Every structure is written in C-alpha cells, then in structure tokens.
Amino acid sequence: MTPAEGTGAIKEAEKKMPQQQRTYEVMFIVRPDLAEEETERVVSTVESGATAAGVAVKNVERMGKRRLAYKVRKFHDGVYVLLTVEGPGSAVAELERRLRVAEPVIKYITVRVDEEQKRLAKVKKIRDSKVRQRPQTAEAAAGSEPTPATA
C-alpha cells in the first residue's frame, strides 16, 4: 500500500464517521448605509445559506445599529446580527466562507459555545449542591450550642 492510498482510506473513514453537532454563535456586522429592507434581505440570505450549508439556525437576534470600536471598511457604525446555530464544523466553515464573500457583511466572528455551556452547567451543579449542604450544617451547629435561656 502506498502512502497516497493510506490517506485516502483515512478520508473515507472520516466521511463515514458521524460529525458532532456543536453549538456556535456567529455574529456579523452589516453595512450601516443599507436600507432596512436590504438589511433584512441580507440576514435572510445568510440564514438560508446557513441552512443550505447544513447548519440548523436556532436563534436570530438583530441587535441593531451600533458604533464600531474602530473603522472597518471606512464605516464607523454597523448593524449587528447574532445567529445561534447548531451543526458540524465543516458546515460552519461553509457558512463563514459565504459571509466572507458577501459584500454587505463588513465583519464576522464565530465562537463555539457548547463547551462553555457544559462548563457553566457543571459549575451551577456544584454550587447548587453546596447551597443544599450549607443549611444542614447551620442547623446542626445551632442545635449543639446552648441557648441563652438555659445557660
């Protein structure tokens, strides 16, 4: 078997493996000089492009026009849109490619949030268990001390 054949076998195995569905937040900024209807058209185009790429759109949050921290493509303002999507990494890469070539989109960023959600759930569980333990220890300590009336 040649090295070239070996890599082909690996790629075939990767195709057969089910890809994990991960949760991502994709924030992109649309040019501020577009009309409201055009901005909505851009958002719906990105949303349909995400679905076509194999990503499930869970939430779309239009955050409105905001001031940018620095000048981007000669713009000081931009219309912020936050997409919460779920899908494999390869599909999210396709969504990013579509955002890169979309002329009205001046900036975008993608963040994977599923690991953060797991970590926060774990911390919350630990805090809840400590809160449940704390009242029991306070009652036990109060029962062992003599009261002022009996002393």
Domain positions in the chain: 19-113
Q: What CATH number was assigned to the domain covering residues 19-113?
A: 3.30.70.60
Q: Is the pLDDT of residue 73 over 80?
A: yes
Mean pLDDT in residue range 17-27:
83
- H or E segment and range at residue 59: strand 56-72
Q: Coil, strand or helix: which one is 139? A: helix
What pLDDT shows up at residue 10?
47
* Bigger pLDDT: 69 vs 116: 69
